[in-house]
Amino acid sequence: MGKRRTNDLIELTLDVSDPTRSLEFYTKALGMELCDHSGPTPSGESAWDLGFRQGAKLKLRHRADERFRDAVYEPGENDLYWKIGITLADVDLARSRLIASGVEVSEPCQFHDIGYLCHLEDPDGYCIELLQHQFACNFARCPANDGYPLGGGAMIGQVSINVSDIDRELAFYRDQLGLRLLSRQVVPGRGFTLYFLADTDDILPESDVDAAENREWLWQRPYTVLELRSWDQKRPGLANASDDTLGFRGILFAQSGARTDSIS
């Protein structure tokens, strides 16, 4: 058993243009539950918290202000935010159900020795990755849970952000915040390396954080892991969206009963 974690990644916040459309997507297509709703505030801001049974919650924020009526999310190469990864038991089953509900999903593949995965977008264009607990070669089909749109076992397994200086980020998340580096994954031919961190003393299958043997284990953790994508060629100017556009607004950690915000 791992220790009681005190720096859990518990929430990420994304702006949305049409909360009715976004709520329908996340609850009906993905099977998240609505946990809380706040607002509107005097400034016209409302927020909805959604989540699976385990892992971090997703906060959708909407600003009913004239300035944001035509705001859109415009991801770019200097965007701090990358994606959320939803880990689950059966990617093919989840994909077939999403396609049946009218959602476009890429063709799944075993991506190197990292994982069996595919991608889709939410109504505002935020990237979502579906990542299977097991590699394609090790997959054993389980009975589908028809009570869940994605087949059961789904959770936000990773919150993924881009970083321009991995040493600085590790100094903050690992050395200051106390997260532990669980896996480092060099991605062949893509020009970046992935770093996965969480507050846990779970024992890795292999002590070497570069070992591919740790990866299926990692995709089955019952908590959300922070994923840092570090480019081989540094990208200066990584940033959140400006105040007058839609975008990623940060992540939240629970720290010994307190709350710690971070936008990297």
pLDDT the model gives residue 262: 64
Q: 7-262 adopts what CATH topology?
A: 2,3-Dihydroxybiphenyl 1,2-Dioxygenase; domain 1 (3.10.180)
Residue 6 confidence (pLDDT):
63
Structure tokens at 67: 């300035």
Does residue 134 contact residue 140 with C-beta atoms inside 8 Å?
A: yes
Measured distance CA(213)–CA(203) in Å, rounded: 13
pLDDT for 71? 79
- Are the beta carbons of 59 and 46 closer than 8 angstroms? no
CA angle 208, 233, 211 (to 5 degrees): 15
Closest listed residue to residue 231, CA positions, set 185, 189, 191, 183: 191
Digitized pLDDT (tens) for each residue of the chain, 264 residues in all: 444 456 899 999 999 999 999 999 999 999 999 999 999 998 889 999 999 999 999 999 998 877 777 778 888 878 899 999 999 999 999 999 999 999 999 999 999 999 999 999 999 999 999 999 999 999 988 776 777 899 888 999 999 999 989 999 999 999 999 999 999 999 988 989 999 999 999 999 999 999 999 999 999 999 999 999 999 887 766 777 777 788 999 999 986 545 566 655
Strands 258-262 and 33-38 turn out to be unpaired
User: What predicted TM-score, i.e. pTM, was given to this entire model?
Assistant: 0.92
Which long-range contacts does 192-196 make (Cβ < 8 Å, 24+ apart)? 192/229, 192/230, 192/231, 192/232, 193/166, 193/229, 193/230, 193/232, 194/114, 194/227, 194/228, 194/229, 194/230, 195/166, 195/169, 195/170, 195/227, 195/228, 195/230, 196/158, 196/225, 196/226, 196/227, 196/228
DSSP 147-199: TSTT-S--EEEEEEEEES-HHHHHIIIIIIS--EEEEEEEETTTTEEEEEEES
